[in-house]
Amino acid sequence: MTDATAEPQTTEVQEFEREPVPASHYKGWKSFLGMYAGEHAAGTEFVIGPLFLTAGVSAFDLLVGLFLGNLMAVLSWRYLTAKIATDVRLTLYYQLEKICGRRLVTAYNLANGILFCFLAGAMITVSATAVGIPFDMEMPKLTDTTPNGLTWVLVVLAIGAVISIVAARGYDTVSRFANIASPWMVLVFLACGVVALQGLNVRSFADFWNIFGEGSEPFPGQIKYTFWHVMLWSWFCNAAMHIGMSDLTVFRYARSASSGWTTAAGMYVGHYLAWICACLMYALYIRSGEAQVMLAAGIAPPVAPGPMTYETVGVAGLICVVVAGWTTANPTIYRAGLAFQAIFPKFSTVKVTLIAGAVATIAGLFPAFAMKLLDFVAVYGFILAPIGAIIVFDHFFAQKAGIIRNYAERVQSSFNLSVLLAWFISMAIFYSISVYQGVFLSFLTLPAWLFCGVLYLILSKFLQKNN
């Protein structure tokens, strides 16, 4: 999972917020390679990997499902996001404003900002499991939704305060520190996996395969994941970034759309290697006596990245959990602040970042966001992705459908009703299906996305004609 994706150079993004990036500022594929590889090895990977194991995945479902799901994500980035980004060279927000008007972008910003805060909250939770070790803090259980004690509250508040203040005051320093930490973090993830393999007595590929085997019953409180769950979840966990078009802001700097292939570095380092390594660590932990006693009592063993990494690779692992959580929560809070600032332009950046940090810290107090991260990430992609469908369908099909492209800009409107209706109706229909029919939400992300795009064309045809 990634935080709000960072741009190659923050200052340059601010220069071209409302104009196409000029050719003199295009960047080669190497600029994107390192960024994606680093961004997707975040603190939350320590939780996502183990959560697959709690869902009882089989070896085939995990290895092949993740491989194909990540491949689909890369193709989405390459042929949709990077393609449109290099065609229009505009930020997501400005492109969206041209289609749906300024007031509707505000609604999108609000949704985006709140979801960023919750995501940052999950990262604070992950860091807290490492920072709490010296204080003998009780770790949250997999089924915990509320704070489990005073120590937890104090540790989370302290981490949240530090992260928020640094995000508000020293974003550039943290951004630089994140760049330094990236290659090291990837190697620590790898170290965790290799050491776990030793602990699990894996000496051949067959031994490795047998760790997961044919899968198992999900842990108490979890649902069973099949091949399709793993594949579609891994495809759409970053749906907001690729089919949701958030990364238009990043790829508008790309010399050509083929830079979109560099997202493979993020997917296969962060969302394949790191997830599997974290999964192996948890596999080792659940073979311990303590975890077996819990399982026998019908309790799911906790997914606590701090103690797990400390047990596996010592202090370096603890540092990695804190750094991974901190460096990714930071830009997420910063960007949540920027999203809020678009709604309240009179507030200073420092003020909105602190507000976003406070919301994220409060969210971090509740372990549910981290312990139910698979569900939360699915919701996150589901809500934001349909907005990308508007951009994609407007870009590729507006002419064929006989509607005006960038309608809000053409008619000087601040509110395009077709976009709002398409977004809300598609979300309402497919979310209802998920809730009332019990369908896994990631199964519905693509149908909702397609439905939203088609509905936008139909509604535009009708409403534009009336206008």
Partner 1 sequence: MKNLKYLSYIGLLIVLVAPFLFYADSITKPQMNNALLGGTVVWFATAAFWIKKGE
Q: Which is nearer to partner 1, 230 or 283 (CB)?
A: 283
Least Å distance between CB 187 and partner 1? Answer: 5
Closest Cα to residue 347, out of 168, 199, 207, 190?
A: 168
Contacts of 374 (CB under 8 A, 6+ apart): 48, 51, 52, 55, 233
Q: Which is nearer to partner 1, 56 or 270 (CB)?
A: 270
Q: Which is nearer to partner 1, 200 or 450 (CB)?
A: 200
Backbone angles phi, psi at 27, to 5 degrees: -125, 150
What are the structure tokens assigned to 465, written together?
């004609």
Q: Which is nearer to partner 1, 204 or 437 (CB)?
A: 204
Axis-axis angle for helices 305-313, 45-54 (nearest 10) = 100
Chain centroid offset of residue 209 CA: 28
Confirm if 227 and 61 have CB atoms less than 8 A apart. Answer: yes
Residues 5-24 that bind partner 1 (CB under 8 A): 8-9
Least Å distance between CB 87 and partner 1? Answer: 24
Least Å distance between CB 249 and partner 1? Answer: 15
Least Å distance between CB 108 and partner 1? Answer: 27
Residue with tokens 């934001």: 384
Confirm if 237 and 119 have CB atoms less than 8 A apart. Answer: no
Confirm if 139 and 366 have CB atoms less than 8 A apart. Answer: no
Q: Which is nearer to partner 1, 76 or 182 (CB)?
A: 182
One of 15, 172, 207, 290 touching partner 1 (CB under 8 A):
172
Angstrom CA distances, 392 to 132, 245, 246, 290, 395, stand at 45, 8, 12, 51, 5
Contacts with partner 1 by CB under 8 A: the residue count is: 27
> Per-residue x/- marks for partner 1, 294-313, CB under 8 A?
-------------------x
Q: Which is nearer to partner 1, 314 or 402 (CB)?
A: 314
H helix and E strand count, the chain: 23, 0
Least Å distance between CB 315 and partner 1? Answer: 5
The amino acid at residue 223 is: I
Stretch that binds partner 1, among 57-65, 171-179, 207-215, 278-286 (CB under 8 A): 171-179
> Per-residue x/- marks for partner 1, 175-214, CB under 8 A?
xx--xxx-xx--xx-xx--xx-xx----------------
Q: Which is nearer to partner 1, 49 or 317 (CB)?
A: 317
Q: Which is nearer to partner 1, 193 or 364 (CB)?
A: 193
Q: Which is nearer to partner 1, 31 or 464 (CB)?
A: 31
Stretch that binds partner 1, among 83-91, 168-176, 267-275, 454-462 (CB under 8 A): 168-176
Least Å distance between CB 8 and partner 1? Answer: 6
Closest Cα to residue 263, out of 80, 113, 418, 101?
A: 80
Q: What is the DSSP letter of 118?
A: H
Q: Where are the beta strands (DSSP E) in 65-205?
A: none
DSSP secondary structure of 166-186: HHHH-HHHHHHHHHHHHHHHH
Least Å distance between CB 347 and partner 1? Answer: 26
Least Å distance between CB 393 and partner 1? Answer: 33
Stretch that binds partner 1, among 145-153, 172-180, 251-259, 442-450 (CB under 8 A): 172-180
Angstrom CA distances, 93 to 4, 96, 312, 437, 442, stand at 14, 5, 43, 34, 25
One of 73, 137, 319, 363 touching partner 1 (CB under 8 A):
319
Least Å distance between CB 198 and partner 1? Answer: 5
Residues 415-444 that bind partner 1 (CB under 8 A): none
Stretch that binds partner 1, among 81-89, 115-123, 233-241, 314-322 (CB under 8 A): 314-322
DSSP secondary structure of 205-232: HHHHHHHHTT--PPPTT-----HHHHHH
Confirm if 455 and 426 have CB atoms less than 8 A apart. Answer: yes
Residues 25-44 that bind partner 1 (CB under 8 A): 31, 34-35
The amino acid at residue 239 is: A
99 touches partner 1 by CB under 8 A? no
Binding site for partner 1 (CB under 8 A): 8-9, 31, 34-35, 172, 175-176, 179-181, 183-184, 187-188, 190-191, 194-195, 197-198, 313-317, 319
